Amino acid sequence: MKRIAIVDNNKLKDMALKKHIQSLCPVNRTGSDCMYFEDSKLLIDENLCIGCGICTKPAPEAIHIVNLPEELKKEPVHRYGKNEFALYNLPIPLNNKVVGIIGRNGIGKSTALKILTGIIKPNLGRPGREASYDELIDYFKGSEAQGFFEKLKKGEVRISYKPQQVDLIPKQYKGSVRSLLQKVDEKKELQRIAEVLELKEVLDHDISKISGGELQRVAIAACVLKKADIYFFDEPTSYLDVKQRLKISGFIRGLVNRNTGVMVVEHDLILLDYMADLIHLMYGKPSAYGVVSQPKSAKAGINVYLSGYLKEENVRFRDQAISFEARPPLSSRKEDLLTEWNAFRHKLGSFELEAGKGNIYKHDVIGVLGENGIGKTTFVRVLGGDIKGHELKGLMISYKPQYLESNDELVMNFLQEAIQKYEVQLIRPLELKPLFMRKLSELSGGELQRVWIAKCLSQDSDLILMDEPSAYLDVEQRLKLGRIISEILKITGRSALIVDHDLLFVDTISDRLIVFEGKPAVHGRVTGPFPMEEGMNKFLENIGLTFRRDDESKRPRINKPGSQKDKEQKRRGNLYYA
């Protein structure tokens, strides 16, 4: 059996511990150098290792011995270093197509894009030795990738790339948004693109002063202003609100033509489905190895992803299939009332929030949809009493804010209640154990989010308020999150109000919907809670789209604007599922 060994020497600082681990290896005990040192790094010779796993016991976070699927016959396309992450196969961009990539964090999506865009020179599994174009062409002989590298070699492919981490842009560029975009404006289309991406108002703002959502759109603008044959977008919708996400997805779709292709990494399944013609799935073990599947049609690819099983490759990457209910929950349930609020207005500087009368039942899950800057967080903070005047009295509320605070507290202490009460329901599915000994301030965005979700769901309360729990989570974690929340609410009988921009997530967990209307930064109006169907109809009417259910997986899909189904559903006023 083929296997790889991963050693994260950054997590393994203590020399005495490393020596101890080395002394445990049965192969070393017979006199061979299976575990050896290089520049004081502990390394494993994968040809000698027998896969006994003894060395992983004292350092489960740092050392992983992983058996590879049988069908991986070739060497990896790239390996970051000895005993480091390995990527197998590559996704291939095509003219006139949007090719999507879907997979967990740490599975190698960005690595694959960086190879195709030339940022990383692949080494065909030999760290420290870049492969030449001819070697790559030879390695990929007979596949689509061969043609791609042949064109790349001849300098026939121009490439433009929107990186994942837009928050790094202000560290690299200084000055105004306009000056940044002018520098890259090969197409001389700055005005038009700024208009389409709603950036006109921030053109003269300093790049360090704009919001995450604005930065994302600036990065997308910079990418498309360049003349290129292939445009790469690594997670183009993070920080964007639901309306902008839909708009940007349509915009990205619109970039392809006979001479132009697009490749996109995306965790929001509804958007990926809407954007992509073809999809590559990525599977493997995060931080150890990742494999790119053959391309599939978008519809089939997403259904295969949900099923958790790749037939052609004979690989199961999830224990269970993920399924959706065929119908939206029927009309609102007349159950016990938990709480209600009277109509109110609240002014915050020049912004005014206006809410009609509303209520929350016991065991009620209310999804909240609306643009950025329209008052969703303000509304939640008012109900929670964080902003005084109209709080829900006599209720114990557990709140997860949008912006997560962190300090030097250990995760283990922060999550005491969750560890004591909900090991099975929260700690395990959110994969929190490996984080216990870390400080909150050392966690990545997605790790901090998972910790806060566990904290919020484990606290004693009557009502759970969550602001954007899906932010920074990958597709797998988002799909899981819906089930985790539903499960906890069922056990505890609590109700929840959940603000989020991932429509599949909101659709899966909600019994009812609150929809915001108004003008961002000026006024916001809270309408609802509505029964699901009525709320979605109201929301979709605002953005001009219609939804149907996939006949196989029953997941929601956006109808292509102007398609038969789209027109028919609009005519009948039935925007949310025919």
List the single partner that 168 binds among ligand ADP, ligand SF4, none, CB under 5 to 8 Å by kind: none
Give yes or no for residue 34 binding ligand SF4 (CB under 6 A).
Answer: yes
Yes or no: say if 149 and 133 are a contact pair by the CB < 8 Å rule: yes
Q: Which stretch binds ligand SF4 (CB under 6 A): 49-57, 138-146, 264-272, 476-484?
A: 49-57
Give yes or no for residue 25 binding ligand SF4 (CB under 6 A).
Answer: yes
Give yes or no for residue 287 binding ligand ADP (CB under 6 A).
Answer: yes
Give yes or no for residue 54 binding ligand SF4 (CB under 6 A).
Answer: yes
Which one, 6 or 34, has the nearer CB to ligand SF4? Answer: 34
Minimum separation from the CB atom of position 54 to ligand ADP (A): 23
List the single partner that 111 binds among ligand ADP, ligand SF4, none, CB under 5 to 8 Å by kind: ligand ADP
List the single partner that 49 binds among ligand ADP, ligand SF4, none, CB under 5 to 8 Å by kind: ligand SF4
List the single partner that 53 binds among ligand SF4, ligand ADP, none, CB under 5 to 8 Å by kind: ligand SF4
Give yes or no for residue 12 binding ligand SF4 (CB under 6 A).
Answer: no
- CA distances from residue 10 to 7, 71, 326, 334, 567 in whole angstroms, order as listed: 9, 31, 47, 56, 56
Give yes or no for residue 344 binding ligand ADP (CB under 6 A).
Answer: no
Pick the binder of ligand SF4 from 15, 52, 330, 437 (CB under 6 A). Answer: 52
Give yes or no for residue 449 binding ligand ADP (CB under 6 A).
Answer: no
Give yes or no for residue 110 binding ligand ADP (CB under 6 A).
Answer: yes
Q: How far apart are CA 223 and CA 217, in angstroms?
A: 10
Q: Which stretch binds ligand SF4 (CB under 6 A): 24-32, 285-293, 342-350, 468-476?
A: 24-32
With a CB cutoff of 8 Å and minimum separation 6, the contacts of 166 are 212, 215, 216, 218, 219, 238, 239
Q: Which stretch binds ligand ADP (CB under 6 A): 67-75, 102-110, 269-277, 409-417?
A: 102-110
Yes or no: say if 304 and 281 are a contact pair by the CB < 8 Å rule: yes
Give yes or no for residue 49 binding ligand SF4 (CB under 6 A).
Answer: yes
Q: How far apart are CA 21 and CA 361, in angstroms?
A: 56
Cβ count within 10 A of residue 257 = 9
- CA distances from residue 271 to 238, 278, 559 in whole angstroms, order as listed: 12, 13, 11
Q: How far apart are CA 576 and CA 320, in angstroms?
A: 27
Minimum separation from the CB atom of position 223 to ligand ADP (A): 17
Task: Give the pairing type, strands 351-355 and 523-531.
Answer: parallel
- CA distances from residue 538 to 68, 249, 368, 499, 577 in whole angstroms, order as listed: 49, 21, 13, 17, 13
Q: Give the distance from CA 39 to its chain's centroid.
A: 36
With a CB cutoff of 8 Å and minimum separation 6, the contacts of 3 are 46, 49, 51, 65, 66, 67, 68
Q: How far apart are CA 251 and CA 290, in angstroms?
A: 30
Which one, 28 or 176, has the nearer CB to ligand SF4? Answer: 28
Minimum separation from the CB atom of position 76 to ligand ADP (A): 11
Residue type, 578: A
Minimum separation from the CB atom of position 33 to ligand SF4 (A): 11
Note the maximum CA span of the chain: 79
Q: Which 3 state secondary structure label does DSSP give 91?
A: coil
Q: What mask, x for binding ligand ADP by CB under 6 A, covers residues 230 to 269?
A: ----------------------------------------
Cβ count within 10 A of residue 174 = 11
Q: What is the CA radius of gyration of the chain?
A: 25
Pick the binder of ligand SF4 from 13, 38, 50, 396 (CB under 6 A). Answer: 50
Give yes or no for residue 109 binding ligand ADP (CB under 6 A).
Answer: yes
Minimum separation from the CB atom of position 51 to ligand SF4 (A): 5
List the single partner that 84 binds among ligand ADP, ligand SF4, none, CB under 5 to 8 Å by kind: ligand ADP
Q: Which stretch binds ligand SF4 (CB under 6 A): 52-60, 231-239, 376-384, 557-565?
A: 52-60
Number of amino acids touching ligand SF4 (CB under 6 A):
14
With a CB cutoff of 8 Å and minimum separation 6, the contacts of 271 are 237, 245, 246, 249
Q: How far apart are CA 200 and CA 176, in angstroms?
A: 12
Q: Which stretch binds ligand ADP (CB under 6 A): 98-106, 399-407, 508-516, 551-559?
A: 98-106
Give yes or no for residue 493 binding ligand SF4 (CB under 6 A).
Answer: no
Could you please report the per-residue DSSP string of 263-326?
Answer: EEE-S-HHHHHHH-SEEEEEEEETTTEEEEPPPEEHHHHHHHHHHTEETTTTEE-SSS-----S
Minimum separation from the CB atom of position 238 to ligand ADP (A): 12
Residues 65-84 that bind ligand ADP (CB under 6 A): 80, 84
The tally of CA atoms less than 13 A away on the side-chain side of residue 268 is 29
Give yes or no for residue 280 binding ligand ADP (CB under 6 A).
Answer: no
Residues 494-523 that bind ligand ADP (CB under 6 A): none
Cβ count within 10 A of residue 260 = 17
Minimum separation from the CB atom of position 35 to ligand SF4 (A): 5
Q: Which residues of this chain interact with ligand ADP, rule CB under 6 A?
A: 80, 84-85, 103, 105-111, 287
Q: Which residues of this chain interact with ligand SF4, rule CB under 6 A?
A: 25-27, 34-35, 44, 49-55, 65
